[in-house]
Amino acid sequence: MKLLFKGAQIIDPANGVNMVGDLLVENGKIKAVDKEINLDKAEIIDLTGKILCPGFIDMHVHLREPGFEYKEDITTGSRAAAAGGFTTICCMPNTSPVIDNGAVASFVRDRGKRTGLVNVLPIGSITKKQAGNELSPVAEMVTAGCIAISDDGKPVMRGDIMRNALEYAKMFDLPVLAHCEDLNLSRDGQMHEGYYSTIYGLKGIPAAAEEVMVARDIILAGLTGGRLHICHVSTSGTLELIRQARQEGIRVTCEVTPHHLILTDQAVGSYDADTKVNPPLRSLEHVQALREALQEGLIDAIATDHAPHQFEEKDCEYNLAMSGISGLETAVALIMDCLVIPGYLDIEQMVKAFTCGPAAILGLKQGRLDIGAPADITVIDPEIVKSVDPAQFNSKGKNTPFKGMNLKGWPCLTMVGGRIVARDGQIMG
């Protein structure tokens, strides 16, 4: 089967491509990319005015399966990813049981292959049961398909354990994805510590709660030579620590979420628990620093930290609510509408942060339009305007602070392995 995409703006940062042209898919693989391709026998899809990119990668999602299928499962999470323009998603290990051994990792990987519309890759836990006291069997998890290790959702408080994790992971050239939070500084906090936490009467979480752990982990990465990745950066101080570390040759990368790029702590004034996230929404100066760091390339990837919750877990008092946003289906439109279209972020930088940026961190072959590679493709229509309606989400999680927002620039086609899995927001097949 031959499928010819015509007239798209093709953006492939990994190969230095930004042109109006055509792309040919044959037998599930990319056959050709050129300014003009003409064939007599091919199904043609006109993409004039649209943006064609390598399939987007979300390196930080919570699919909840096994154990918390009432919040999300691999099937619904995959559907949400496809509708949101993602072709590869990497799922965090805070399941029940935890992804801390080869058996659970294999279950997630196999379940993704059987039921998922997109590529589902497991991330193993750093410590057994995410308890922070004993390393998980890394070699066993790597053999089962894990592409990184993380105790995301729980910081590794013991420095000796984090040092050992970096040293052990280095043997496999595996990144350690760190949730940087000093629980002694953040305990019982509900939002960013500052002016608005005082006004709203909620206990604050200081920026230092993130930064002191980032500093510790960077020092340990320098000591061990391991690969450190900082999850969901949220403060200007964290960015400066990363900048300095890179100047010293320490192997450190980082990601940012759409909600930390767009919302400030002022949004918590609605007391809508959908604004409760960890790390918390920060003040305007931190948001501005994150935007500038993304544009300059200091931040390597945009990741959703997709965290679906049951309705009752959010429909309660702010201090009792679970943290997290259901983000797979809105991430691309949020970045397009709030950052790219207004001119805060170049479209090439956005595509890089969703494709070859995370691919390089995780050692993936995806994230580029190479000839002969599986046809994983994301197409964006920069003119589509839609309102965020959680009731229409494919995800079981309807928890989003962006509900009701009109956004411009949505994914309109998602292809995985040469098969169109979503079109105009609708799942195909």
CA distances from 108 to 115, 286, 307, 364 (A): 10, 36, 17, 18
Exposed, middle or buried, 20 (CB in 10 Å: 0-12/13-18/19+)?
middle
Q: Which of 64, 277, 279 is nearest to 178 (CA)?
A: 279
Exposed, middle or buried, 317 (CB in 10 Å: 0-12/13-18/19+)?
exposed
Look up 305 and say whether it is catalytic: yes
Biggest distance spanned by C-alpha atoms of the chain: 68
Distance CA 336, CA 334 (A): 5
Peptide bond preceding 66 in cis form (omega within 30 of 0): yes
Give the rounded distance of the alpha carbon of 102 from its chain centre.
23
Which tokens go with 429?
């097949």
Residue with the two structure tokens 């309807």: 398
**Residue 34 burial (CB count, 10 A):** 12
Give the rounded distance of the alpha carbon of 285 from its chain centre.
23
DSSP bridge pairs for 410: 381
Instruction: List the catalytic residue out of 12, 22, 182, 305.
Output: 305
**Residue 206 burial (CB count, 10 A):** 17
Strand 377-387 vs strand 51-54: parallel, antiparallel, or unpaired? antiparallel
Q: State the catalytic residues.
A: 305
